[in-house]
Amino acid sequence: MLALLATAFLLGTVLLNLVALGLLGRRLVGHYALARAAAPVAAALALFFVEHFVGLGRLGWLWPLTTAASLWVVARRRDVVRAHWRVEAVFAAAFAWAFAWRWASPSIVASSEKIGDLAMIASYLPGTRLPPVDAWFPPFPFDVYYSFQAYAAALLGRVFGMGPGLTYNVAFCVAVALTVTSAAGAARLMARSTRAAVLLTAAFTLGGTGASLPAHAMFARPELYTSMRLIGDAATPAAPTATAFGRAVIARAGVGPDSTALRLPSETFAYLATLGDYHPPLSGFYLLALALLCVAVCESGAPARGAQGILAATVPLCAIANGWTFPPQAILVAAWVAYRHAARRPPDWRALLAGGVGALALCYPFLSTFAYRAADYGVTLRLVPAGAHTPPLLGALVLGPLLLALALPLASAPRRPWLLWSTALWAGLLVLSEVAFVDDVYSGVFERFNTTLKWWPWIQAGALLTGGAFGLGAPSRFVRWATAAVLAWVTAYGFDLGRALATTPAPYRGRLDGAGVIAADPIERVVYEHLRAQPRGIVLQRLQAGAFTPAPSLALLAGHAAFLGWPEHEKLWRGQRADVALRDDEVRRFYAGTLADPADWLAQNRVDHVLWLRTEGELPAGTFDAIDARLRGRYYWREFYRGGEMRVGMWSRR
């Protein structure tokens, strides 16, 4: 009960501060929903700039002051909050939806990118001058990834005194709520109808791909990811749960053997919100929705200088938050500017310049180093090879709602100018994703993997919001009902999500510090709690694989830096630098007991603690004794469990 009360108090305090930020931002931008969605990120960006010159530390002393000030601001302007109760209702509902998933599955485990995302947040939590020390590769700086989203989460954790795992889970809910609030605000202004806005927001928040409904006819037991990974993963000749209809579709699609099937995924915002990865694609959807809200404010006839400034600011912000959607984000903003210029309603160039240049200036300290690091990736834009295009039938299944959302509004007059421009925008981006791809480290059947994964759902979200709004407001009854049917088709994925939330086992429910899996083990829990009580240091933990392995989550969740995180990720981020592989090899040789002078090696690398966990029991007999004998005098052994030959504990520097 006390834990529930503490969680409720924390969340209430966070939400109160966010409301106050929105009220303060409204005085600058003149639109409540826009201020509510943009103000927290603007505040984080300003501090991101400042901390490149001076680190502000943990900031836990700040929340009582900001909360008292927030109470005063909200009390004085409660009439404004009351007048915009719908905005607050949307924010609260979106936060609650995301929180329900994090409450049910709060553990930060090796599935997908969770532990990597945690490492980014952990790098920023100490509040040192930026760039911070990489919590996965100390003592080198963490300036190798577009990580503003991780900084914003860490800032939230620093202000409200949260540990790494709790910061991760609460920040995730805030990111989802800000995104949905932006999308709902854009939908309401573009559709000019509350009922239409509800359907559009539901499609954005709960929507799957076009394959989400057909997947139930194609497979006996479709999972949440089945429709997201249809092309190349689920829809292959060897699919074990394919029905007769599914096998017929796969055969008709001409899909080859699994080993040659192109992997073309499309993970929508709804899927990401339930997956739980605090990964940069969340920022991509947020900046898309925020930009569309800015466009909607500008096209609504309301005072829009602030909206135009924020619209321009989304482009440089995208470069530091989610580089994959930087090109389409820039094209989106450029398309609106070109449309206004062609329509002889020129935008406010001063506002655009102030927003774009101002945001770029705030991003510059980060970009000045990250830009050179990004060049090490060797990423280029290339034409799609002849044999790597999307299979037409499966592509139509996945992208069908997107295509219909673009086509249906054009079938009804009058055609508003922005409708034509937005249709050309989304159609052009979709064509671009089919004729060109971002050539990264993937190749073969995975060559277009990241491009479709990041671009297709982003384009679909934008097309459904704009095309759906125009279609629902069309004079033609057929177009209105057909558009509603398309949006319902996508939104039906929400039933799958709700069923999964209600039926999936949740053994670590409510353990919001993210350490549920560790705490469930009575042996590792002792190690975790002991590490939490130690000053922040560098911890060595054995890696069982190069990536997507539980290590070193224990060290990160306990508030420490890991001597080495997932080496395959660090190699990618650091341009295949030789010392990453060298450190990986040294760690392996240390745990094998073959490293020359291990005590001196640990001291040189300033390793404070070395973990020896249950998994080390799989090493050859006598390995522990060989290592322990060579560490005595420099490191002392603390044992937490011993059963036969198995030991669990840690060596700590004297």
Q: Which ranges constitute the DSSP H helices of 514-552? A: 516-519, 522-532
Length of the chain counted residue by residue = 654
- Would you place residue 120 in the very low, low, confident or very high pLDDT band (cuts 50, 70, 90)? very high
User: Contact at 8 Å (CB) between 439 and 379?
Assistant: yes
Spell out the alpha helix ranges (H) of 390-435.
392-407, 417-435
Distance CA 391, CA 263 (A): 11
Phi first, then psi: give them for residue 638, nearest 5 degrees: -120, 120
Looking at per-residue confidence, does 300 or 429 come out higher?
A: 429
H, E, C per residue of 544-561: CCCCCCCCCHHHHHCCCE
pLDDT digits (tens, 9 = 90+) for 471-528: 998 888 999 999 999 999 999 999 999 999 999 888 899 899 999 999 999 999 999 9
Do 266 and 460 touch, CB atoms closer than 8 A? yes
* Inter-CA distances, 514 with 113, 115, 166, Å: 14, 10, 7
Q: Which amino acid is at 224?
A: L
- Sequence ranges of the domains in the chain: 2-209+267-377+402-500, 214-260, 516-653
Fold of the 516-653 domain: Rossmann fold (3.40.50)
pLDDT at 563: 96
How many CB atoms are closer than 10 A to CB 381?
11
Q: What is the pLDDT of residues 61-75, one digit of tens each?
A: 999 999 999 999 999
Q: In this model, does residue 376 exceed pLDDT 80?
A: no
Question: For residue 290, what pLDDT band results from cuts at 50, 70 and 90?
Answer: very high
- Contacts of residues 584-591 at CB distance under 8 Å and 24 or more positions apart, as own/partner, are 584/543, 584/546, 587/540, 587/542, 587/543, 587/563, 590/540, 590/627, 591/542, 591/616, 591/619, 591/623, 591/627
How far apart CA 392 and CA 384 sit, in angstroms, is 15
Measure the CA–CA gap between 371 and 284, rounded to whole angstroms: 19
Answer positive or negative: Cα dihedral of 131, 132, 135, 139.
Answer: positive
Per-residue pLDDT at 158 exceeds 90 = yes
Contact 227, 457 (CB under 8 A): no
DSSP class of residue 411 equals G
- Per-residue pLDDT averaged across 593-612, rounded? 94
Structure tokens at 411: 């079938």
Where would I find the H helices in 30-138?
32-50, 63-76, 78-83, 85-104, 114-124
User: Is a pLDDT exceeding 80 seen at residue 40?
Assistant: yes
Report d(CA 526, CA 524) in Å as an integer: 5
Quick check: 316 pLDDT over 70? yes
Q: What percent of the chain has pLDDT over 70?
A: 98
